[in-house]
Amino acid sequence: MCDIIWCKKDFEGKPCNTINYLDPYCFWNWEGTINCAECGAVYYIHMIQGKMYRGPEDRPGEKPDTSPLYADKPLEGYRFYGAGIPDRTRPFECLPRHIYLGVPDMVKFSIRNRPVRGWRPQAPDGGIAGSYQFNWDLKRLSPDVYEEYQQKIKNGEVTEW
Amino acid sequence: MAEKRDIEINSRADTIDLMNPDIRPWPVTPPPSFEEVMEKTYAKRKAEDFGKWCEDNLRYEYCWGKPEALQGFKFVCCGQWRMGNMFCSGLLCEAGAEVIKVEPPGGDPLRKLTPFGREEYKLESKITGAKCGLDFLHEMRGQKSVTINLETEEGRAIYKTLCSQVDGVIDEMPPGYMDSIGLGYRDLCEEMPRLVYCNIGVRGTWGPYKDKMSKFGQWTLEPFGGCANAFIHNTGFPQDQLPRGKGGDPTRSGVWFADFCAGEQAANTLLAALYWRDEMSGEGQFCEVSGAECQNEILDFDISWYGFNKSIKARTGAWDPNLNQYEWNPCRDGYMMIGGQTDRLWYRIGMCIERDFPQFGRLIHEDPILKEMGGRNALNMLVKTYTLTTRWLRDINRTEAETKLLEYEIAAGPVLFIDELSEFPHFKYRPWVCTIDTDHYGTILFSVSPNAYAQATPHRTKVLGRPVGYDNYEILQKWCGIGQTIVNEYIEKGVM
Amino acid sequence: MAKDPRETRIEDLPGPKSKEELEEMKMPYEEYCKAQFDPGNEFSKPQSLKGIRWLSTTMYIFTPHSVSNLAELGADVIKVEMPRMGDPMRHCAPFNETYLYPLHDSRPMTGTGMGYLNANPNEYHITMDYHLPEMKEAFYSLVKMSDGLTECYRPGTFDRWNQSFRFLQEMNPRFIYVWGGGFGYGPKCFGGSYDILGQAHAGLASVTGMHEYMGGHPLKHSNWCIDWYSGTQITFGILAAIHWRRKTGLGTMIEFSQVQAATRCLGYAAPLYGRFGIVRQRWGNWDTQLCAHGIILCGKSDFPDAENPQDRLEARYAMVSAFQDEDWKELCAITGMKDLMDKYKSNNERAEGEAQIEIYAALEKWAEDKSRGEVCKTLQDAGLLAEPVCNDREYYEDEHWRMRGTVRWMDDPIFGDILQHGTYASGLLSKTPRRLFWIWRPVGADNVKIYHELLGYPTKTIEEWYEKAWL
């Protein structure tokens, strides 16, 4: 065992088989208890310079000091628990927004409500050998977004800053 | 090799000079020879011809026999405290221009700064006896030092005469100061229409958030620039990796980085404006750069990202939020950087680590999400990848990791400290730290200009460091026609 | 002067010549600056580098930025990318969230990530698989009609393809050729490099971040700062070479190591080690030479109810600067650090390691029950220097940068409404300002413009090349 904890406790009638990842900067020098993201078993670990100096030792019934950020189950198609699932993983607070997508954000309007080409697919508009002109004919290429924009103008939602 | 000798150490003072390159030469072990590099590097890639051509045409040692790109250009630099004007004028000097650094009679206060207040780490001029801090000394790369008290009428007249001789002025005084004493751009441009004038500031010399002075006259210095432009907010370990207050905080650069950004863009701005003057218009102009803005310009897409969907860039420590792998993590004797995002490199990294640590291959390469390049960049995947990578790194040291990774042609490198990088074979071969012999301060180890490796006009550091006012007599005689008797009077009167 | 020296003419006398000039001389300095730089009216003025044409066979950030500086200053730049794929940086977006579409028509579901932003503005984007013998003619034609080229391939690659400096110099002796990469000639010549490698390998990481005893590790500068900073230094090399070429008519080759550029900004690290054997270490949010001059953690956020975690949790840091003795005394008086005031009288005493630890601990203690705003306001009201550590939103909303025109919205011809913080921020010029035409173009968007309109190939040939993926 090292800086992953592969939990093999019996859980709901079969081995838990969950890997709890102890991320390097947080746990490089660390002592305390941590729970398994799947079965909730609590382990005591003492890591010095990335090595398990003591543990993982079972600490049944104790309240864990912390949780992993990430855990997955290789035997079940890598089903995983990402950051911030209550009682399983610890939250990742330092994020750019209150939500976290991890996939492309389909944006049609900038924060001042003017059209920006941030969504897919886009209607083809190229000429010879992939050439493009120097304008974006929104009305012709994306009439629905054009309409939405006209509505925004009417509603006074389009601002300077 | 230096000779062996016996030394007696009775106190710390006896040890201070033992590392002097005159006693312990740099480098401690010699760099590889050209023949070794030919055999072990160029020949391995079947690039013997090309390698030889590069060394014949670009070698640092040959720079001394080549012309200088900016020969004939002259500048006056009037600035204090900050690195911006120093770096800008240093760049110009290295490229061959002549720069006069105008200092108040006591010298630029930057001369007085020394790490942790240790006076013993200042160097003393063998000729004048004046002490100088190392930050100042290291950026004083051929600039000449002239002292002028701009608060006196005579001083202002001298300054104006100096300006009449130059192509450009670098002004890093507080906002509006030069203008208020009648030496700003609008005062000079009428008589000197070809003059290019560049202000350097931290947040700028005009506008509602311009540079301030305290009520006691203390200047705004770096890292105020990095505070204003979100660089510091965006740099640091997140509190999710290290506790807040114990490493998990927004963190400044170890150096005055915004100043360096401002200095180099100021130099570019001056050269562009001079090109337009010489090639097209014959006219000078007024320019301004600020550290906060120049550094913000290079914060990738950060502000634009806010305009896109109100994201506010968050710090991510030693990991990059856009790429996987692209980070450094701790290893047995320090930290190891690994980079490789495209599939080709990603699987090579995996193969390399798998050889020692088979579980890595299983957990990483089998995971369906990690098979897709975009998907790998998600935060969860960074946590997984880097945990397992560090599991491998913790058992090996930096050199071992580097050797293994380079076998797979992966961009990888250790986090090096200055002593280690000064002895790293490539760095001393090229060299990019090097010693320079100076008449005032003895032998000094310094960072070589990265523009020093060019076929026609390599940049070079000819002089390092200069005592305050060392060039008073020469420059006043040559540029202003003022002889030594009057200069002496000026010095007496506190004008210089 | 008038022909007759006895004649007095108004234009020969010092001082203002017209009512307008008189007004200008009387203008407060700040208004004068604003009028000179006149943000927003850049396009009524000429461009510094008019007439320079540059080729950019670059990728990522470092080498593209050496060219983007030229493009912003008015050079015509042709960016050459690999057919269909484009620059790898196009496939890079923060947390995989932020893309603009399309990459080009044949891949409607793929976009260009924001990672590409600011590195290739104003350029004409063409595609070319230039290592094919069939494309050599077009490549050489471009070389003959350009002033220079920046490339970033592994050393020797362009040489193998017969397009390194030693070949191109013969076609165009005025050619300025730049290779930018990790290491340059020498034992690690073929080592690959990235921004982060420069930061790690060249010593910058060893001096940035909290000290070990504070719990910290070596720290990376936000994203790709060193790539950008090094690219700007190449621009300096290019501009100097252009000046020299004005005199001599001769080009040059510049070999620039990005990793080395990171060592260049280490200040006293090299001379301190070289002379005294002292290895510079990281020192967190404080300054190694000045005290008090550091960033402190305050007790409360300025925006405790904000939705965005960066506002809600992070608006807690303030930069406090009082290193001169009078400022220090005032700071101690305000924060109740009387004992420290007597203990540490000079900056040299305060800058000692132990002193700094004690001083910043006391300052953070004082700030424990205050918000960032309160800390700054208290000190500013006393005439001291203290400012908040701002985030991107605050930078965007600050009137200062808007007035200076260094943050502005732009209507990109292809991609629409983009908030822009590059270009104008790298320096203001009163007569030949930098300016932005477009942020980037789809892959191959200017193939016809360059191959047909500039090099004269028939459109049929261009289509044929395109179908074979040579373009």
**Mean pLDDT over all residues of chain C?**
94
Of C336, C341, C406, C414, nearest in space to C378 by CA = C336
How many other CB atoms are there within 10 angstroms of residue A74's CB atom?
17
Q: Is B55 within the bounds of a domain?
A: no
Q: Does A25 contact B394 at a Cβ distance shorter than 8 Å?
A: no
Question: Which residues lie below 8 Å from residue C21, measured CB to CB, with a gap of 6+?
Answer: none
Q: How far is B257 from chain A (nearest CA, A)?
A: 24
Show residues of chain B in contact with A26, CB under 8 Å: 240-242
pLDDT tens figures, B252-298: 999 999 999 999 999 999 999 999 999 999 999 999 999 999 999 99
Are B201 and B136 in a shared domain?
Answer: yes
Residue C106, pLDDT score:
87
Are B142 and B93 in a shared domain?
Answer: yes
Could you tell me the fold of the domain covering C53-264+415-467?
Answer: Rossmann fold (3.40.50)
* Burial class of residue B61 in the structure, from the number of CB atoms within 10 Å of its CB (0-12 exposed, 13-18 middle, 19+ buried): exposed
Q: Is the CB of residue B419 less than 8 Å away from at least one CB of chain C?
A: yes
pLDDT tens figures, C330-344: 999 999 999 999 999
Of C336, C323, C393, C384, nearest in space to C362 by CA = C336
Phi, psi for B158 (deg, rounded to 5): -60, -45
How many other CB atoms are there within 10 angstroms of residue B398's CB atom?
22
Residue B2, pLDDT score:
53
Q: What is the residue type of B152?
A: T
Residue B23, pLDDT score:
82
Task: Give chain C's end-to-end CA distance (angstroms, integer).
Answer: 61
pLDDT tens figures, C95-123: 788 999 999 988 889 999 999 999 999 99
B285, B413, C71, C235 from B272: Cα distances, Å: 11, 36, 12, 10
How many other CB atoms are there within 10 angstroms of residue B273's CB atom?
29
Q: Is B426 within the bounds of a domain?
A: no
Of C179, C232, C226, C228, nearest in space to C198 by CA = C226
Q: How far is B294 from chain C (nearest CA, A)?
A: 5
Q: Using the Cα atoms of residue B270, residue B276, residue B282 and residue B288 in order, give the sign of their dihedral.
A: negative
pLDDT tens figures, B398-423: 999 999 999 998 989 999 999 999 99
Q: For tokens 């975009």, what's the residue?
A: B374
* Element (DSSP H or E) covering residue B54: helix B48-58
Q: How far is B489 from chain C (nearest CA, A)?
A: 30
Count residue pairs from A and B with Cβ separation < 8 A.
Answer: 115
**Which residue is closest to B212 within chain C, CA to CA?**
C385
Q: Compare CB distances from A102 to B330, B379, B387 and report the shortest one's residue.
A: B379
Q: Does A98 contact C308 at a Cβ distance shorter than 8 Å?
A: yes
CB contact at 8 A, A27 and A36? no
Token output for B464 = 């390092």
Are B40 and B172 in a shared domain?
Answer: no
Are B388 and B441 in a shared domain?
Answer: no
Res. A1: pLDDT tops 50? no
Residue C1, pLDDT score:
60
**Which residue is closest to C407 within chain A, CA to CA?**
A161
Peptide bond into B450 cis (omega under 30): no
**Rg of the Cα trace of chain C?**
27
**Which residue is closest to A79 within chain B, CA to CA?**
B367
**Rg of the Cα trace of chain B?**
26
Show residues of chain A in contact with B314, CB under 8 Å: 94-96
Instruction: Residue B364: give its domain's CATH number.
Output: 3.30.1540.10
Token output for C417 = 């409404």
Q: Which of residues 70-129 of A touch C (CB under 8 A)?
A: 93-98, 100-105, 109-112, 114-122, 124-129
Are B106 and B140 in a shared domain?
Answer: yes
Q: Is the CB of residue B318 less than 8 Å away from at least one CB of chain A?
A: yes
Q: What is the residue type of B415?
A: V
CB contact at 8 A, C62 and C225? no
Dihedral of the CA atoms A80, A86, A92, A96 (nearest 10)? Answer: 100
Residue C16, pLDDT score:
73
Are B285 and B344 in a shared domain?
Answer: no
Q: Is the CB of residue A12 less than 8 Å away from at least one CB of chain C?
A: no
Of C374, C349, C426, nearest in space to B114 by CA = C349
The per-residue DSSP string of B201-255 comes to ESS-SSSTT---B-TT-PBP-TTHHHHHTSHHHHSB--TTTS-TTTT-SB---SS
Res. C193: pLDDT tops 90? no
Q: Compare CB distances from A97 to B307, B311, B367 and report the shortest one's residue.
A: B311
Beta bridge partner(s), residue A18: A7
**Which residue is closest to C215 within chain A, CA to CA?**
A29
Count residue pairs from B and C with Cβ separation < 8 A.
Answer: 687
Phi, psi for C227 (deg, rounded to 5): -60, -50
**Which residue is closest to B311 within chain A, CA to CA?**
A96
Q: For tokens 């998600």, what's the residue?
A: B378
Q: Does A24 contact B330 at a Cβ distance shorter than 8 Å?
A: yes
Average pLDDT over residues B116-140: 96
Question: Which residues lie below 8 Å from residue A138, measured CB to CB, with a gap of 6+?
Answer: A115, A145, A146, A149, C416
Q: Compare CB distances from C233 to B204, B410, B451 and report the shortest one's residue.
A: B451
pLDDT bin (cut points 50, 70, 90) of residue C8 is: confident
Are B112 and B149 in a shared domain?
Answer: yes
Average pLDDT over residues C122-130: 96
The per-residue DSSP string of chain A comes to --SEEEE--EETTEE--EEEE--HHHHSSEEEEEE-TTT--EEEEEEETTEEEEEEEE-TTPPPSB--SEEEEGGGTTEEE-TT-TTTS------SSSS---S---EEE-TTS-EEEESSPPPP---GGG---S---HHHH-HHHHHHHHHHHHTT-----
Q: For tokens 């807690």, what's the residue?
A: C316
Q: Which of residues 37-56 of B touch C (CB under 8 A)?
A: 37, 40-42, 45, 47, 49-51, 53-55
Neighbouring chains of A at 3+ CB pairs under 8 Å are B, C
CB contact at 8 A, B362 and B305? no
Peptide bond into B368 cis (omega under 30): no
Phi, psi for B225 (deg, rounded to 5): -60, -50
Cα separation, B380 vs B372, in Å, equals: 14
CA B151 to chain centre: 32
Show residues of chain A in contact with B242, CB under 8 Å: 25-26
Residues carrying CATH 3.40.50.10540, chain C: 53-264+415-467
**Which residue is closest to C128 within chain A, CA to CA?**
A129
Residue B353, pLDDT score:
96
Are B206 and B352 in a shared domain?
Answer: no
Cα separation, C65 vs C118, in Å, equals: 8
Q: Compare CB distances from C97 to A104, A109, A135 and report the shortest one's residue.
A: A104
CB contact at 8 A, C170 and C140? no
Could you tell me the fold of the domain covering C293-397?
Answer: formyl-coa transferase, domain 3 (3.30.1540)
Are B137 and B240 in a shared domain?
Answer: yes
Owning domain of residue B129 = 74-297+435-493
Of B222, B218, B179, nearest in space to B202 by CA = B222
Q: Who wins on pLDDT, B375 or B134? A: B134
Q: For tokens 């506002």, what's the residue?
A: C311
Are B121 and B224 in a shared domain?
Answer: yes
Of C127, C126, C116, nearest in space to C415 by CA = C116
pLDDT bin (cut points 50, 70, 90) of residue B25 is: confident
Neighbouring chains of B at 3+ CB pairs under 8 Å are A, C
A132, B34, B209, B212, C289 from B201: Cα distances, Å: 41, 45, 11, 10, 20
Taking the CA of residue B167 as centre, how many other CA atoms within 13 Å lie in the half-sphere pointing to its CB? 22
B42, C279, C410 from C192: Cα distances, Å: 15, 27, 36
Q: Who wins on pLDDT, C93 or C322? A: C322
% of chain B surpassing 70 pLDDT = 99
Q: What is the residue type of C20?
A: E
Name the 3-class secondary structure at B471: coil
Q: How far is A93 from chain B (nearest CA, A)?
A: 7
B242, B385, C123, C234 from C73: Cα distances, Å: 43, 42, 12, 15
Interface test with B, best of A2, A75, A158 (most B CBs within 10 A): A2
Peptide bond into B25 cis (omega under 30): no
Q: Compare CB distances from C239 to B272, B377, B453 and report the shortest one's residue.
A: B272
Beta bridge partner(s), residue C373: none
Average pLDDT over residues B459-465: 96
Task: Give chain A's end-to-end CA distance (angstroms, integer).
Answer: 54
pLDDT tens figures, C211-241: 988 889 999 999 899 999 999 999 999 999 9
Phi, psi for C164 (deg, rounded to 5): -85, 180
pLDDT tens figures, C153-190: 999 999 999 999 999 999 999 999 999 999 999 999 99
The per-residue DSSP string of C264-322 comes to HTTTTHHHHHHHH-PPP---TTS-SS-SSEEEEE-SB-S-TT-SSHHHHHHTTEEEEE-
Average pLDDT over residues B434-445: 95
pLDDT tens figures, B95-105: 999 999 999 99
Q: Compare CB distances from A120 to C111, C313, C418 and report the shortest one's residue.
A: C111
Interface test with B, best of A3, A4, A21 (most B CBs within 10 A): A21
Q: What value of ipTM does the predicted structure carry?
A: 0.96
Are B410 and B440 in a shared domain?
Answer: no
Are B369 and B444 in a shared domain?
Answer: no
Q: Compare CB distances from C98 to A105, A134, A135 and report the shortest one's residue.
A: A105
Token output for C205 = 């990481």
Show residues of chain B in contact with A97, CB under 8 Å: 309-312
Q: Does B214 contact C69 at a Cβ distance shorter than 8 Å?
A: no
Instruction: Residue B186: give its domain's CATH number.
Output: 3.40.50.10540
Question: Which residues lie below 8 Å from residue B481, measured CB to CB, with a gap of 6+?
Answer: none
Neighbouring chains of C at 3+ CB pairs under 8 Å are A, B
Res. C23: pLDDT tops 80? no
Cα separation, A54 vs A51, in Å, equals: 9
DSSP C352: S
Q: Which of residues 341-370 of B touch C (CB under 8 A)?
A: 341-342
Residue C2, pLDDT score:
67
Token output for B7 = 């030394």
The number of distinct structural domains making up chain B is: 3
Q: Does B242 contact A26 at a Cβ distance shorter than 8 Å?
A: yes
How many other CB atoms are there within 10 angstroms of residue C386's CB atom?
24
Residue B14, pLDDT score:
84
Phi, psi for A7 (deg, rounded to 5): -80, 125
pLDDT tens figures, B194-242: 999 999 999 999 999 999 999 999 999 999 999 999 999 999 999 999 9
Of C117, A101, C114, nearest in space to B378 by CA = A101
Taking the CA of residue C244 as centre, how many other CA atoms within 13 Å lie in the half-sphere pointing to its CB? 28
Q: What is the residue type of C274?
A: G
Q: Is the CB of residue C307 less than 8 Å away from at least one CB of chain A?
A: yes
Q: How far is C461 from chain B (nearest CA, A)?
A: 33
